[in-house]
Structure 1
Amino acid sequence: MEKDKHNTDDMTQCVLKHIDYPGRRRYSSKVQQSYRGVLSNDMFAQFEKEFKSCLTRRQQKKQWIINLLYPLKSTIEYFEYLEKFAYFEPDIIALQQSDKKDLESFNILRKIVGTEADIRIRQRLFIIQDMINNVCAPYVTSISSGSIAEGMDLPGSDVDVMRVLKNVLVVKTIQHIKSSFQYTTLLMETVLSDPGFIRLKLVADGDRESKIISPHSFVETPEGIYLSAYLFISDIVKQIFPASKVGLHGPCISDKNHELDFAYCLRVTSWPEIAKKWIYRHRQEWPPNSVIEKVVNYGCLLVPIGPKYLKTNNLMWRLSFSVAEKHLVHSFNYTQLLCYGLLKLSIMFIIKRNNCTKDLLCSYFLKTLLFWVSEENSIETFRISNIFHCYYLCLAKLQSWLSNCYCPNYFIPAYNMFLGKINASNNNRLLVDIYCIKCMGNTILNSVLKRQCLLLPDLLDRSEVRQDFLLYRTFVILPPKWKDGIRALTLVESLRKDEPSSLIFSLLECFHDNINKHIVQLSPLNSTLNTKTNFKRYSKHLNDAVKTEPISGLLLYASFFYVTGKIATTLELIENVLLRCTPEQILLGKCTYTKTEIKNYAQKFDCQSRKRCDRIHLGTIDDVLYRQQSLLIPAELQLEVQYDSMSIPPVVMAHCLKYLCFHCLNDTRRKTQALRDLYLTVREGYFISRLSISNSLTVLGVCYELNDEKDKALHSYHKALQCGDTICRSAAIRKSKLL
């Protein structure tokens, strides 16, 4: 017994001994002798209690800690964090233990909106795309905005692109104006009666005039010369979209089907005075201070539109906080994003059913609603287990706004965004709809989500397929100059080293290919194409242009050989291209794809087993873009690129080159067959998007003209000029020459 007691005493004792330190100490040790002390079991119990208490507090403040570590969640660091930690799993377990309808609604919502990793990848996709395009085209700053750029790829979501003009300086006060005027300088004048709107007074033209803002955009008044919003946007349509049939959608220039919106705007580098209170006003834990600082440092944008409730508003511009809103959405946690998706899916679906109310509420109001609710509540409220509670918090605030007919702008609360839209005469119907949603609860939500889920094409609920088609729909490259293209290639190479996402890596590969397709047409030449030095230079870029999507690159290669007189090699390449063009392939750049296209693609190219780079290589096809005054386009088509670039569908270009080769060889039989194949391709619209119909008809007309079939050529040019979207500019010139 005594021995056992002795052993027990040894276990509960901790011996602290003095150990001589052989080196030199900065401070001498105060403990000069060994110390024998005892640590009781109570101390270990106390430590365990404190440790568990610390873990509990950490769990309770988890969202706040994540916001502190990752204020913007579209970064590589946060994406890597997501791959390591499924931090919302405990909340899902809590949700599973609650109402079954809640869990079912959550699962459907996540299927439509996507996982958090899916959303962050979408956000990063557009960040990278903007980075590279801004190097390719430094004369304008491109900023992707709208639902998809925010990560919300929902049914009906569109792509908005803001183009910020450079060589224009906008200042808040006279004191901000420098003595020397390098750029066109405009002074902001606040309109006190209309918060959120300003006028732009011309101060100086500057040495470096803006290429886009012409003198015709200014209006002279007794108070001075002002930049007219209406004339500004009209001039842009004439200069940048001369061959396109576009319309105005708010401050944006929109295509015929409202699938693409371009907003040309100006930037104010300082934060506007009217929004100063936003920086310092009381809020809970969102947005993080670092995000507020980033937002304020950027400033804001000015878009060319005045208040709708005023008839004479041509001189007024609206303050736009699109960049700030994008940062704020990127700082949302997953629950906030799901809540945003749920608001858009449910409310917009219910409101759109009624013709009287379908145009009253827009998704921008819902985003503003979520900003206010997020600011006024603790970030810990926004947990997966609380998703529907957060949703009903938003509904309660929306109900209050509708009752008062007042929707305060998030940055300028004095600006009522309902003004001119929702008033006492039309708000009752909206209030009834909101009341019905609140009363019926998750029953109606579940029903709406199931209907929205049916809008997703088959197989598009699979993450890999959905990401593929997002890339195919949204990839765009601004045509670079030669030096800018080289700089863009360097940027692509640096980004490829650290990118963990396969989708973003594929985006970078697409940029690498397409930049080479542009550079090869702009490379400085020693004398003529047909030299060894030029051949090596062109071959390097052309080889790099066929690694991702090979069809358009091979057709550029074929054009190169045709221009240099290598007819046999050209025909060999064309046969290779035509064998590769199969119906299962996806034409890049379309805004929408049919269910049949998606199904055939997924089955043919087996998205689960093949790598994404292989799927893009085998399963996609793109138009051939010839730059303005390109050296690679056949001489017969030089007029088409005299004033602008030209995009030609791949199969159309293949048959055109085939016809030109046989025309050079004086092979009447085979050139007649090639011309017949070209006609059938254009007639059937084989791999021809609606934006390329006019170009295809013009190419067909050129071949008819070479074949001495002038009537058919005239008919083709006439049809090319009647197209509804984009018109080929050379069609009118060629038609007039034949008449």
Structure 2
Amino acid sequence: MKILLKDVISESPGCKDLLCSYFFKTILFWLSEELPTSMWKKDNLIPCFMKCVKRLIYCVEQSMCPHYFIPENNLFENKIIGHGRRKLLETLYILIDYGWQCIFFSANISMVSLICTVQFKVDLFLNNIQKIIKSKVTFPRAMCPNVKLIDFVGSLQIVFASQTQKLRSLLLLNMTQTGLIEAQMVLLSGLQSNHNIYKRYKQCLCNLLLSTYHDAATGWLMLVSLFYKNKQYNKALCVLSYLLQKITREKLYFGANLSHIHRELFRFKTFRKRGIIRTLRILFLPSVIFYKKDYLIPNEIKTGATDLNPAMITPVIYLHFLTFLCHYHLHNIGNYQESLSDLRLTIESVMIMLTNL
């Protein structure tokens, strides 16, 4: 923390002499009371460091840093205010965006061997990817049956108000995933006028196009489902031919282990520069989910889904199944026989993969 203060924060324009090491010691004292003793060990150096940085940001945001021995005394009173506070927060927000690696802005720390640093970053990136695809964060959840349409304007305001790029990315992912669920709930037939059906179709199409931001294929597959349900088989096949290039064997599934191919891919700096969220958008394939009141389910699929237990299909299987259905309805005999064979082989390979998880 002292290195961060002396070599980084104090060197930032408008931040010199705003903070002193005693403030950092005070934050450390308070955290030492809040966290268990077992937390303070060498293995937890980085998490402890990040907790201190985040607490510092909170104190600056509130212009409040209680003295450890005399809590009624605010060390930031009449000091961290006005223009200086704004400049300090700008600097701290930039540093927190870099995570623990912000310490490398120090000229003294950055003299560490570049090779060791790069290798450490690669290993950290790989470990983070592995943790995420095995965590429940990526596991499909049931949707509340009374879900309401999201307010996209309000949601965008929240996204743009977010202070870090990582948080903005997560909020956008959540927003587009919600849009995907809403598209599946739009009724496209029934006792409605042609005008209303067309209006709902455009609404559904808009939400599905937004959802293509979410991951490598799910939004696109649901777009194909929309075309298929509306008997636009040639449009569906155009998107499916595009997806055949995206849903390839190096893609990641929920619970999968990183293969040698993945580890070699992530050694390229281009992936690490994209960050974890954008990398997962390109490489991660969550299951296609169908809900009980899902109007995009092809009539040929009987899901047995309920409000609390949606049906899930592996994306690559669903892709080949839709390809077969489109060729079948277009009477492309040779093509639908070939796609049926591809579907059978795909199911067999997926079953083998799932048994190895």
Who is 1:552 aligned against? 218
> Given that residues 187 and 295 in structure 2 are in contact (C-alpha distance below 8 angstroms), is that contact kept between their aligned partners in structure 1?
no
The CA deviation at 1:633 is 1.1
1:575/1:120 CA distance change after superposition, 3 Å: farther
Question: 1:6-25 residue pairs with structure 2 within 5 A?
Answer: none
> Given that residues 250 and 262 in structure 2 are in contact (C-alpha distance below 8 angstroms), is that contact kept between their aligned partners in structure 1?
no
1:537/1:615 CA distance change after superposition, 3 Å: same
Alignment partner for residue 63 of structure 1, among 18, 21, 28? 28
SS of residue in 2 equivalent to 1:635: coil
What one-letter code is carried by the residue in structure 2 that aligns with 1:634?
P
Alignment partner for residue 168 of structure 2, among 505, 517, 528? 505
For 1:119 and 1:466, locate their aligned partners in 2 and report how far apart those are by CA, in whole Å: 23
Alignment partner for residue 311 of structure 2, among 639, 646, 651? 646
Who is 1:675 aligned against? 340
SS of residue in 1 equivalent to 2:190: coil
The CA deviation at 1:629 is 3.8
The CA deviation at 1:614 is 3.8
Cα deviations by residue, 1:635-686 (Å, 9 ceiling, x for unpaired): 111x224555211111101110111112212322211111110111111128
For 2:318 and 2:53, locate their aligned partners in 1 and report how far apart those are by CA, in whole Å: 38
1:572/1:460 CA distance change after superposition, 3 Å: same
What one-letter code is carried by the residue in structure 2 that aligns with 1:520?
A
1:674/1:486 CA distance change after superposition, 3 Å: same
Who is 1:516 aligned against? 179
CA RMSD of aligned residues (A): 4.1
For 1:459 and 1:686, locate their aligned partners in 2 and report how far apart those are by CA, in whole Å: 35
For 1:56 and 1:563, locate their aligned partners in 2 and report how far apart those are by CA, in whole Å: 65
For 2:235 and 2:313, locate their aligned partners in 1 and report how far apart those are by CA, in whole Å: 21
For 1:619 and 1:519, locate their aligned partners in 2 and report how far apart those are by CA, in whole Å: 24
SS of residue in 2 equivalent to 1:484: coil
Alignment partner for residue 290 of structure 2, among 612, 618, 626? 626
Question: 1:124-203 residue pairs with structure 2 within 5 A?
Answer: none
What one-letter code is carried by the residue in structure 2 that aligns with 1:619?
L
For 2:172 and 2:343, locate their aligned partners in 1 and report how far apart those are by CA, in whole Å: 31
For 2:167 and 2:353, locate their aligned partners in 1 and report how far apart those are by CA, in whole Å: 27
Who is 2:202 aligned against? 536
Who is 1:577 aligned against? 243
What one-letter code is carried by the residue in structure 2 that aligns with 1:499?
S
Identical positions, percent: 14
The CA deviation at 1:491 is 7.7
For 2:120 and 2:165, locate their aligned partners in 1 and report how far apart those are by CA, in whole Å: 19
Alignment partner for residue 50 of structure 2, among 117, 121, 137? 117
SS of residue in 2 equivalent to 1:631: coil
For 1:684 and 1:119, locate their aligned partners in 2 and report how far apart those are by CA, in whole Å: 48
For 1:613 and 1:59, locate their aligned partners in 2 and report how far apart those are by CA, in whole Å: 32
> Given that residues 213 and 281 in structure 2 are in contact (C-alpha distance below 8 angstroms), is that contact kept between their aligned partners in structure 1?
yes
The CA deviation at 1:460 is 7.6
> Given that residues 218 and 285 in structure 2 are in contact (C-alpha distance below 8 angstroms), is that contact kept between their aligned partners in structure 1?
yes
Alignment partner for residue 134 of structure 2, among 473, 476, 485? 473
Which ranges of structure 1 fall in alignment gaps of 5 or more residues? Answer: 1-54, 73-90, 92-104, 122-284, 289-457, 694-724, 726-739
SS of residue in 2 equivalent to 1:647: strand
Is 2:254 aligned against 1:593? no
Cα deviations by residue, 1:192-221 (Å, 9 ceiling, x for unpaired): xxxxxxxxxxxxxxxxxxxxxxxxxxxxxx
Structure richer in strand, relative to its length: 1
What one-letter code is carried by the residue in structure 1 that aligns with 2:199?
T
What one-letter code is carried by the residue in structure 1 that aligns with 2:297?
I
The CA deviation at 1:502 is 3.7
Structure richer in helix, relative to its length: 2
1:569/1:647 CA distance change after superposition, 3 Å: same
> Given that residues 627 and 645 in structure 1 are in contact (C-alpha distance below 8 angstroms), is that contact kept between their aligned partners in structure 2?
yes
Is 2:231 aligned against 1:568? no
Who is 1:22 aligned against? none
For 1:664 and 1:559, locate their aligned partners in 2 and report how far apart those are by CA, in whole Å: 14
1:633/1:675 CA distance change after superposition, 3 Å: same
- TM-score, normalised by the number of residues in structure 2: 0.61
For 2:143 and 2:250, locate their aligned partners in 1 and report how far apart those are by CA, in whole Å: 31
For 1:66 and 1:661, locate their aligned partners in 2 and report how far apart those are by CA, in whole Å: 61
Which ranges of structure 2 fall in alignment gaps of 5 or more residues? Answer: 1-19, 55-67, 72-118
> Given that residues 561 and 569 in structure 1 are in contact (C-alpha distance below 8 angstroms), is that contact kept between their aligned partners in structure 2?
yes
The CA deviation at 1:115 is 6.8
What one-letter code is carried by the residue in structure 1 that aligns with 2:160?
K
Who is 1:25 aligned against? none
The CA deviation at 1:463 is 4.0
Cα deviations by residue, 1:147-171 (Å, 9 ceiling, x for unpaired): xxxxxxxxxxxxxxxxxxxxxxxxx
The CA deviation at 1:585 is 2.1
> Given that residues 227 and 233 in structure 2 are in contact (C-alpha distance below 8 angstroms), is that contact kept between their aligned partners in structure 1?
yes
For 1:67 and 1:479, locate their aligned partners in 2 and report how far apart those are by CA, in whole Å: 40
The CA deviation at 1:559 is 0.8
SS of residue in 1 equivalent to 2:324: helix
What one-letter code is carried by the residue in structure 1 that aligns with 2:201?
F
For 1:56 and 1:615, locate their aligned partners in 2 and report how far apart those are by CA, in whole Å: 38
SS of residue in 2 equivalent to 1:541: helix
What one-letter code is carried by the residue in structure 2 that aligns with 1:505?
R
For 2:26 and 2:185, locate their aligned partners in 1 and report how far apart those are by CA, in whole Å: 56
SS of residue in 2 equivalent to 1:578: helix
1:599/1:62 CA distance change after superposition, 3 Å: same
Bigger relative contact order, structure 1 or 2 (CA pairs below 8 A, ≥6 apart): 2
Alignment partner for residue 322 of structure 2, among 649, 657, 673? 657
